[in-house]
Chains A and B, each alone.
Chain A
């Protein structure tokens, strides 16, 4: 809040001096007084004064007022229910009215025990009900999507969910239907509530009306242990609570970090956690045995086998990283192969550049921007959903959003999402030209930055020149799924893969070690702001984590490597994070800058893909609801991307293609046939396709209408 004049407000006799215009509810809190609310939620925009729970008496006003709709004015005298009989009566009235139609099924309600309505009733509510007539009844519970169920009888119509849908995620899908006593929350016809952010309504709902289906009858609040950690699904790193019961993750909730996520969380981060329990999860090491395929082996046998392969491959070990490893894991691997085996070649998940460090800023700064340049060809909602919410917020506050490099004049924030950004070099150059204060580059992987830090921290030696590959170590499922890595595997004498799921590396690995999920690891991540954040072990993994076997292996090569994240971090920190200690990283991490951090070797510019006049350039991207984890969550299948190619209106026009037409893309010696989707917002010359549907088509592509085979 900008430094504004202080005003004096008296609440229940207590004087508070507070910035003019502060909400009365906040002002009261400031005086240590709670004004109960239901519909009020400042993050949803202007207050609506609907539920009437916050009624207070204001000196000089004839009627009771909804405190949530008023702001602090100088000399204001407020009496809450604690000191005003009238206000107390108003509050009791509201509570009685709310309970008139609320089913008292608390014992079987998942909200029970953490329910604002339950709590306020407990504190202020009437002992017994005077309502001896039929309550309003509705069909219940009904799924508004496979992930969320709605109980219309429990709904108290505070309109939080619909306001979220209308003015935060701006998807306009969750709405109020009918009028008066018949009002209900609804989606359109029988369509599911779809989008990146739907799950937030389950946290906004102050009663048990909107609940996550995954959590149905799974736990009671008092059985839960909530672990603070950060989401490892994309480069934003939203802060989260993971609720555990008996060591099992039952639910993921937002843990408001006002600089990063403002308390919002995307559905991938919220609902994809059940991949932990995927049936094809690898729990023991498996080794290829001639003719008989894979066989489970003991850890000792596995470590022996790995040691053997690595000894033979001294100086000829290559590591392929996923970008989802913790800094510690990546550093451990780096130390093992670089210091232990004198091999310095890695396939980093993506280009990373330190060029942006000069423009470091919290994501929240986007919200206050006037002109925002959003560049690159991958929609923010897919690559870093929360960033998209910040941009929407800025737009609502009157900001102008430009998506072309040609009219960036006056921009005060730049964001790059998609290929061609060269790890931030490109946007850093633009930032310098325009003199903007904040610039962001969205990496394709959750911890790409941290991994680059870790790799460079382990050694200064340069990779040698071309040589045969003795052993290829493939770390993680994303790397295992990457076609380029598979290419390398064919050249390698031996392949060691660490992976969570069967099948990914089955064809070509010699040894597969069970991997863990970000929800099972302790360590640190670096998000797209360059913010170092603390990851905590939530669920107990079904196998020892990576750090453990890496350090065991390291020992075989006389490398000192403790299996403890804290001590591994200490080593990296000395080089990269100004000696910050593991403990200091913090629950709600601050955005720090570190002097004397080694600049990563900026990789050379990739030649900008050339496309003939009127030609199309293929942009492949990872849609939000894709990847090994999401693929294993049944409830999220309805959100998966479709086999479509997005085309700009111009290109669709040029090729005479309409939405729904089957078109064939040919390029890089391969071709795919997909449904066309015309997208007005897409720039001309680009054909956008989800990775998983692009096959091996790459680069410049030819587009032709597919033959309609009868």
Chain B
């Protein structure tokens, strides 16, 4: 881990710049979120305090400071998607998964999240499944998507 992170740092004139890539990498290594150790590791690798790394991570939506599911489903509920049924799509996922936005299924498999505009406004609703965009998602598509993740 430490070596990997220090490799990332080589790309930058100042190793501190590697904090974001380092946290991203650490999050992947730790199963989608950043436990205490992750901050200690990144801190050690880049000669920063764990507190500093936590402070940076907590600023960005893509870093999770609490345990998340193995998969994430992120539904854009900003205006453009909202105008064409994003709320229905979100609710479809809530029903299908039996959780509210921001929660993780009891089995720890899937985390559902509402997110701000993902930049796919002409093909609403945009749903990022494990960080890959699905375009023009309708409530009808929801069971299949969940099926796929569960399967």
Q: Do chains A and B touch in the complex (CB under 8 A)?
A: yes
Contact residues of A with B, CB < 8 Å? Answer: 166, 171-179, 186-189, 191
Chain A residues, CB < 8 A from B39: 188
The answer to whether A188 touches B54 (Cβ under 8 A) is: yes
Given contacts A188-B39, A189-B36, contact A178 B50 (CB under 8 A): no
Q: Which residue of B lies closest to A165 (CB)?
A: B51
Chain A residues, CB < 8 A from B36: 189
The answer to whether B59 touches A178 (Cβ under 8 A) is: yes
The answer to whether A188 touches B58 (Cβ under 8 A) is: no
Other than the known A172-B51, A173-B49, what 15 A-B pairs have Cβ atoms closer than 8 Å? A166-B52, A172-B48, A172-B49, A175-B55, A176-B55, A177-B54, A179-B58, A186-B51, A186-B54, A187-B51, A188-B49, A188-B50, A189-B36, A189-B54, A191-B51
Chain B residues, CB < 8 A from A186: 51, 54-55
Candidates B51, B59, B60; contact of A188 at CB < 8 Å: B51
- Whole-angstrom CA separation of A176 from B55 in the bound complex: 6
- Whole-angstrom CA separation of A187 from B36 in the bound complex: 12
Closest 9 CB pairs of A and B: A175-B55, A188-B51, A172-B49, A177-B58, A188-B50, A175-B51, A172-B52, A178-B58, A179-B59
A178 to chain B, nearest CB (A): 5
A397 to chain B, nearest CB (A): 19
Chain A residues, CB < 8 A from B49: 171-173, 188
Given contacts A188-B49, A189-B36, contact A175 B59 (CB under 8 A): no
Chain B residues, CB < 8 A from A187: 51
Chain B residues, CB < 8 A from A188: 39, 49-51, 54
11 chain-A/chain-B pairs, Cβ below 8 angstroms: A171-B49, A172-B49, A175-B54, A177-B58, A179-B58, A186-B51, A187-B51, A188-B39, A188-B50, A189-B54, A191-B51
Q: Which residue of A lies closest to B56 (CB)?
A: A175
- Whole-angstrom CA separation of A176 from B36 in the bound complex: 17
Q: Which residue of B lies closest to A166 (CB)?
A: B52
Given contacts A188-B39, A189-B36, contact A173 B59 (CB under 8 A): no
Chain A residues, CB < 8 A from B50: 188-189
A628 to chain B, nearest CB (A): 32
Q: Which residue of B lies closest to A193 (CB)?
A: B51
B23 to chain A, nearest CB (A): 14
Q: Which residue of B lies closest to A178 (CB)?
A: B58
The answer to whether B51 touches A174 (Cβ under 8 A) is: yes
Chain B residues, CB < 8 A from A176: 55
- Whole-angstrom CA separation of A187 from B58 in the bound complex: 13
- Whole-angstrom CA separation of A176 from B54 in the bound complex: 9
A197 to chain B, nearest CB (A): 15
Q: Which residue of A lies closest to B35 (CB)?
A: A189
The answer to whether A173 touches B51 (Cβ under 8 A) is: yes
Q: Which residue of A lies closest to B49 (CB)?
A: A172
A interface footprint on B62-95 (CB within 8 Å = 1, 0 otherwise): 0000000000000000000000000000000000
A interface footprint on B29-65 (CB within 8 Å = 1, 0 otherwise): 0000000100100000000111110110011100000
- Whole-angstrom CA separation of A173 from B36 in the bound complex: 14
- Whole-angstrom CA separation of A189 from B52 in the bound complex: 11
Q: Which residue of B lies closest to A187 (CB)?
A: B51
B25 to chain A, nearest CB (A): 20
Chain B residues, CB < 8 A from A174: 51
A580 to chain B, nearest CB (A): 47
- Whole-angstrom CA separation of A166 from B52 in the bound complex: 9
Q: Which residue of A lies closest to B57 (CB)?
A: A177
Greatest chain A CB density within 10 A among B39, B50, B51, B60 is at: B51
Q: Which residue of B lies closest to A177 (CB)?
A: B58
A463 to chain B, nearest CB (A): 53
- Whole-angstrom CA separation of A219 from B135 in the bound complex: 63
B37 to chain A, nearest CB (A): 11
Q: Which residue of B lies closest to A175 (CB)?
A: B55
A677 to chain B, nearest CB (A): 16
B6 to chain A, nearest CB (A): 16
- Whole-angstrom CA separation of A178 from B58 in the bound complex: 5
- Whole-angstrom CA separation of A188 from B54 in the bound complex: 7
Chain A residues, CB < 8 A from B60: 179
- Whole-angstrom CA separation of A188 from B58 in the bound complex: 12
Q: Which residue of B lies closest to A190 (CB)?
A: B36
B121 to chain A, nearest CB (A): 23
- Whole-angstrom CA separation of A177 from B65 in the bound complex: 11
- Whole-angstrom CA separation of A392 from B2 in the bound complex: 28
Q: Which residue of A lies closest to B59 (CB)?
A: A179
A649 to chain B, nearest CB (A): 15
Q: Which residue of A lies closest to B36 (CB)?
A: A189
- Whole-angstrom CA separation of A175 from B39 in the bound complex: 14
A673 to chain B, nearest CB (A): 28
Greatest chain B CB density within 10 A among A175, A176, A186 is at: A175
Chain B residues, CB < 8 A from A173: 49, 51
B39 to chain A, nearest CB (A): 7
Q: Which residue of B lies closest to A162 (CB)?
A: B55
- Whole-angstrom CA separation of A412 from B58 in the bound complex: 43
- Whole-angstrom CA separation of A171 from B52 in the bound complex: 10
- Whole-angstrom CA separation of A179 from B58 in the bound complex: 7
A163 to chain B, nearest CB (A): 12
Chain B residues, CB < 8 A from A172: 48-49, 51-52
- Whole-angstrom CA separation of A475 from B60 in the bound complex: 59
- Whole-angstrom CA separation of A171 from B43 in the bound complex: 13
- Whole-angstrom CA separation of A535 from B68 in the bound complex: 59
- Whole-angstrom CA separation of A463 from B115 in the bound complex: 83
B137 to chain A, nearest CB (A): 27
Candidates A175, A178, A191; contact of B52 at CB < 8 Å: A175
A185 to chain B, nearest CB (A): 10
Chain B residues, CB < 8 A from A166: 52
Chain A residues, CB < 8 A from B51: 172-175, 186-188, 191
B33 to chain A, nearest CB (A): 14
Chain B residues, CB < 8 A from A189: 36, 50, 54
- Whole-angstrom CA separation of A176 from B51 in the bound complex: 9
Greatest chain A CB density within 10 A among B36, B50, B52, B55 is at: B55
- Whole-angstrom CA separation of A173 from B52 in the bound complex: 7
A102 to chain B, nearest CB (A): 23
A190 to chain B, nearest CB (A): 10
- Whole-angstrom CA separation of A174 from B55 in the bound complex: 9
- Whole-angstrom CA separation of A245 from B126 in the bound complex: 65
- Whole-angstrom CA separation of A186 from B49 in the bound complex: 13
- Whole-angstrom CA separation of A518 from B124 in the bound complex: 73
Chain B residues, CB < 8 A from A171: 49
- Whole-angstrom CA separation of A172 from B50 in the bound complex: 9
Chain A residues, CB < 8 A from B48: 172
- Whole-angstrom CA separation of A166 from B50 in the bound complex: 13
A51 to chain B, nearest CB (A): 19
- Whole-angstrom CA separation of A291 from B36 in the bound complex: 59
- Whole-angstrom CA separation of A636 from B40 in the bound complex: 26
- Whole-angstrom CA separation of A174 from B39 in the bound complex: 15
A658 to chain B, nearest CB (A): 15
Greatest chain A CB density within 10 A among B39, B50, B60 is at: B50
Chain B residues, CB < 8 A from A175: 51-52, 54-55
- Whole-angstrom CA separation of A191 from B51 in the bound complex: 9
Chain A residues, CB < 8 A from B58: 177-179
- Whole-angstrom CA separation of A179 from B116 in the bound complex: 15
Chain A residues, CB < 8 A from B52: 166, 172, 175
B117 to chain A, nearest CB (A): 16
- Whole-angstrom CA separation of A598 from B50 in the bound complex: 53
B19 to chain A, nearest CB (A): 13
B15 to chain A, nearest CB (A): 15
B59 to chain A, nearest CB (A): 5
A681 to chain B, nearest CB (A): 13
- Whole-angstrom CA separation of A186 from B52 in the bound complex: 10
Chain B residues, CB < 8 A from A179: 58-60
- Whole-angstrom CA separation of A422 from B49 in the bound complex: 37
B55 to chain A, nearest CB (A): 4
